[in-house]
Amino acid sequence: MIKRRGSGILLHISSLPSVCAIGGFGPWAYKFADFLEKAGQSYWQVLPLTPSGPGSCNSPYSSFSAFAGNGLFISAEMLVRDGLVGADDIKLDDASAAKVDYAKAIEFKNRILAKAFEKFKVKGKDCYFEEFCEKNSYWLDDFALFVSLSEHYHNKSWDHWDVKLRDRDKGAMDEVRKTFAQRIEREEFYQYTFWKQYLELKAYGNGKGIQIIGDIPIYVDYNCADVWARPGLFKLDGAKRPVCVAGVPPDYFSKTGQRWGNPVYDWGKLKESGYDWWVRRIGHMLEFYDWMRIDHFRGFVAYWEVEANEKTAINGKWAQGPGAELFNVLLKKFSSLPIIAEDLGLITADVREFIRELGLPGMKVLLFAFDESLAKNPYAPHNLERNAVMYTGTHDNNTVRGWFENETDEAMRNRLAVYLGHKPAAEWIHWDFVRMAMKSVASTAIIPMQDVLGLGGEARMNMPSTCEGNWSWRLDGKQLTDELAGKLRELTGITGRI
């Protein structure tokens, strides 16, 4: 339960300005933390920080590790500060670019990180590196080898590797650890550098009274280090391929449902292990985040399971999740669970009751409030409860202005006008929504940065079920003005959120 009243901004790390083709943990991240403090905000929400790649359309929700960090976010400026690369090495200078260029970012970061590693070896490993590797060996050893083997096999899925490596034959594993020792150590250095830079940024934000809200997808990709390292925790066949995959059933939005393709957990096997993998995963995330939003939270109660050979999700079935049993284990291990339950979509009474019993705040999205059911709509401000997080929109929605200009009809605009008490206009509609979110009884209000700025559909972060052009919007540093911070702070203060 979030007891104190507050508000924050949703801005992913990739969207920050920087000297290369993608945002990172450099000077602009600190400037954004300063902006949040000036604006009276209490939270900075980010999307998953785990590694992604072109094969998954660069989606942060599709990763090849549930534990590792995305090396693209390592700051080149901080590498210069630490004496690991020279200033001349990082002169790419596209801090004002409106879009992330993933191809350029990958090439740039691979080059400078390789240089940094060579300098790191010359300077000599510090004791903190050894401590990091030892503390994180549970996932790091397998992840670093997984990355090395993936490169060796030209990014083919691990089920297409040599059978002995697919099945983790001890002799074969010992041999490749020797063969790829240098590449493994380099990946360990990348992860250490990510961890070091991120925690330094987090400490800076925490020192200004800003808590970090992270994001955890409930499922992992099939082609990831976690499934390869612990196949027994997932429903796989003798050839280590998925028997069933995750998705959601047909609904108003899709007659065939959604077949996500992620392998589903074998909750029986996880129970036998004392849910050790989930305990370690949550513990790891608690070191990174002050609060965690868990995506598709309803999957812990019941999840839609589709046979792997099915092309759509129509013929799936509901299967039982671990429910309270898992969370009882987690609560015995950790003193508290600062979790925000993503409870959007098809949520049944048992799922609502489960979230309520755990005392977790759910999500409310203001963009969903103004259909014909407005009077009783659970997302409308007048129907909210205190233990909730109110969003104007999420990374999967259009911006408020984009929604107003392209996704509303006359009837919806009329309802909105009656609710607001004035006729809304495209150039100010974002402030109408920010005010509604801030004035709501919900303990927490989170506003995507695009809505603070009043940007249109061109600034949308993601269009679900599409690949091209997503996850690429970037903030222009010139937009972080004192005037904007002051306006936001005034509204935050008058609504009791400072």
Sheet strands side by side (includes 302-307):
258-263, 244-248, 302-307, 317-320
Average pLDDT for residues 187-203, to the nearest whole number? 98
Q: Return d(Cα 107, Cα 193) in angstroms, integer.
A: 18
pTM of the model: 0.96
pLDDT tier for residue 96 given thresholds of 50, 70 and 90? low
Residue 143 predicted with pLDDT over 80: yes
What pLDDT digit, counting tens, does each position of 305-339 carry? 999 999 999 999 999 999 999 999 999 999 899 99
Residue 278 predicted with pLDDT over 60: yes
Average pLDDT for residues 346-364, to the nearest whole number? 95
Average pLDDT for residues 181-186, to the nearest whole number? 97
Residue 274 predicted with pLDDT over 70: yes
Residue 353 predicted with pLDDT over 60: yes
pLDDT tier for residue 101 given thresholds of 50, 70 and 90? very high
pLDDT tier for residue 175 given thresholds of 50, 70 and 90? very high
225: Cβ–Cβ under 8 A, 6 or more apart, which residues? 64, 65, 68, 139, 142, 143, 146, 147
Residue 94 predicted with pLDDT over 60: no
Average pLDDT for residues 271-286, to the nearest whole number? 98
Share of the chain above pLDDT 70, in %: 98
Q: Return d(Cα 413, Cα 100) in angstroms, integer.
A: 34
Residue 56 predicted with pLDDT over 90: no
Residue 368 predicted with pLDDT over 80: yes
> Whose CA is closest to 327, among 356, 289, 349, 363?
356
Residue 55 predicted with pLDDT over 90: no
The fold of 6-222+263-303+321-494 is TIM Barrel (3.20.20)
Average pLDDT for residues 379-401, to the nearest whole number? 97
How is residue 416 written in tokens?
Answer: 């909105």
Domain ranges of the chain: 6-222+263-303+321-494
Among the residue ranges 144-148, 249-253, 313-317, 380-384, the one predicted with the least confidence is: 249-253
pLDDT for res 95: 52
Residue 255 predicted with pLDDT over 70: yes
Residue 93 predicted with pLDDT over 60: no
Higher-confidence residue of 466 and 199: namely 199
Query: Catalytic amino acids?
Result: 295, 342, 396
Average pLDDT for residues 209-235, to the nearest whole number? 98
pLDDT tier for residue 166 given thresholds of 50, 70 and 90? very high
pLDDT for res 1: 83
Q: Return d(Cα 370, Cα 383) in angstroms, integer.
A: 12
pLDDT for res 123: 82
By the 8 A CB rule, do 22 and 51 touch?
no
Q: DSSP strand E in 131-243: where?
A: 211-217
Phi, psi of 234 (to 5 degrees): -125, 160
Average pLDDT for residues 30-52, to the nearest whole number? 98
